[in-house]
């Protein structure tokens, strides 16, 4: 059974449909990237998993239980870092870390000390005097210092500097090695590429793509720049699988569907290739295509 399972889940806020028949799953022990444009429903999905919101229809299962009905018991086994961490003005960071740990059912003090050092966090400051990144670190230390099976992280690094971002990656890699399941919503593609076994892409409340990065890449296009022996025939621009072709005499620049790469290559070699570069799509290109509503 998967750690997280959402089947045809719909959630409305008045007239807006935040989640529209959303189906996704996260296997035990995997680090799952959760990507999508602003307002696409990532935080809403995570809040449903936390039992803070109630689905209008569909089934939500997490760690083998029903997050709405059994929230407190399930929550012993998970930790959550919100995208916008709100600390109490009168409590210090250290107090918040301890309080959240205790409310979760216990905190590992050695690990707490290690994490504080690792993230270079001063625990004696009062809530409102922390910067955005440091507030986020407080929530991260609190989440990571508890011994839990599942981490729900909603854009946990949006305020971290590159140094801390690197620490975060190292810590999460360690968590994966220890067998934790992580659902990581993020807008930082390199982070997702670095950490995630699988990713799901959400758009307008629906999962539009889900799989390993290799699988997702497979579904995409390769950019090809070729120098031919003869002038490039115009017909090539409208060949199946060829997109955005630009022809300048002997030179061809275009995007080719991976499935059509073989036939296109044969046609090119028939014309005589002098030089060719083919680059796999970058993640940016890949995601931009999914993010773009009109695509």
Residues near ligand ATP, by CB under 6 A = 13, 16, 18, 36, 38-44, 83
Nearer to Mg ion, 11 or 42 (CB): 42
Using the rule CB under 8 A, is 99 a contact of another protein? yes
Single residue of 26, 40, 45, 98 touching another protein by CB under 8 A: 98
Contact between residue 228 and residue 208 where contact means Cβ atoms under 8 Å apart:
no
* Contact call for residue 162 and another protein (CB under 8 A): no
Closer by beta carbon to ligand ATP, 33 or else 36: 36
Burial 26-43 (b: 16+ CB within 10 A, else e): beeebbbbbbbbeebbbb
Site string for Mg ion, 237-256 (x = CB under 5 A): --------------------
Applying CB under 8 A, does 277 fall inside the site for another protein? no
198 makes contact with another protein (CB under 8 A) = no
Q: Which of 123, 180, 178, 170 is nearest to 150 (CA)?
A: 180
How near is the Cβ of 35 to ligand ATP at its closest, in Å? 9
Question: Binding to another protein (CB under 8 A): which residues in 118-147?
Answer: 123-126, 128-129, 139
> C-alpha dihedral over 214, 24, 79, 11, to 10 degrees?
140
- From 80-88, 158-166, 215-223, 243-251, span contacting another protein (CB under 8 A): 80-88
Q: Which does 40 bind (CB under 5 to 8 A by kind): another protein, ligand ATP, Mg ion, none?
A: ligand ATP
Residue among 16, 39, 54, 59 that touches another protein (CB under 8 A): 54
> Residue 152 Cβ, how far from another protein at the closest point, in Å?
8
Find the shortest distance in angstroms from Cβ 294 to ligand ATP: 19
Tell me which of Mg ion, ligand ATP, another protein, none is bound by residue 103, counting a contact when its beta carbon lies within the kind-specific cut-off of 5 to 8 angstroms: another protein
| Residue number, 45 or 134, with CB nearest to ligand ATP | 45
Q: Tell me if 43 contacts another protein by CB under 8 A.
A: yes
Of 35 and 164, which has the nearer Cβ to ligand ATP? 35
In this structure, the number of other CB atoms found within 10 A of the CB of residue 45 comes to 31
Distances (CA, A) of 190 to 73, 251, 281: 35, 32, 14
Q: Which residue is nearest to Mg ion (CB)?
A: 43
- Contact with Mg ion (CB under 5 A): which of 43, 167, 181, 210? 43
β pairing state of 251-257 and 242-248:
antiparallel
- Kindly list the residues in this chain that would bind Mg ion in the complex (CB under 5 A): 42-43, 83
- Kindly list the residues in this chain that would bind another protein in the complex (CB under 8 A): 43, 47, 50-54, 71-73, 75-76, 78-80, 82, 84-86, 88-92, 94-100, 102-105, 123-126, 128-129, 139, 152
């Amino acid at each position: 059974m998967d750690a997280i399972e959402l089947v045809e889940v719909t959630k409305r806020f008045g007239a807006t449909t935040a989640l529209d028949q959303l189906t996704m799953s996260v296997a035990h022990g995997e680090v799952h990237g959760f990507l999508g444009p602003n307002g696409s429903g990532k935080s809403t999905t995570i809040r449903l998993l936390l039992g803070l919101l109630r689905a209008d229809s569909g089934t939500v299962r997490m760690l083998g239980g029903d997050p709405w009905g059994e929230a407190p018991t399930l929550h012993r086994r998970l930790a959550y870092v919100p995208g916008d961490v709100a600390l109490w003005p009168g409590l210090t960071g250290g107090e918040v870390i301890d309080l959240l740990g205790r409310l979760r059912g216990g905190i590992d003090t050695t690990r707490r000390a290690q994490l504080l050092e690792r993230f270079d966090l001063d625990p004696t400051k009062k809530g409102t005097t922390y910067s955005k990144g440091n507030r986020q670190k407080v929530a991260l230390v609190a989440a990571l210092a508890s011994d839990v099976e599942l981490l729900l992280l909603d854009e946990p690094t949006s305020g971290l500097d590159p140094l801390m971002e690197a620490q975060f990656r190292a810590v999460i890699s360690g968590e994966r090695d220890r067998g934790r399941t992580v659902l990581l919503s993020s807008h930082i593609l390199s982070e997702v590429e670095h950490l995630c076994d699988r990713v799901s892409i959400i758009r307008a409340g629906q999962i539009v793509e889900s799989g390993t990065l290799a699988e997702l890449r497979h579904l995409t296009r390769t950019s090809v720049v070729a120098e031919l022996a003869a002038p490039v025939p115009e017909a090539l621009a409208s060949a199946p699988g060829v997109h955005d072709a630009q022809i300048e005499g002997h030179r061809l620049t275009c995007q080719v569907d991976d499935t059509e790469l073989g036939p296109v290559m044969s046609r090119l070699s028939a014309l005589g290739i002098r030089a060719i570069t083919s680059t796999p799509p970058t993640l940016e290109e890949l995601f931009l295509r999914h993010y773009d509503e009109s695509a």
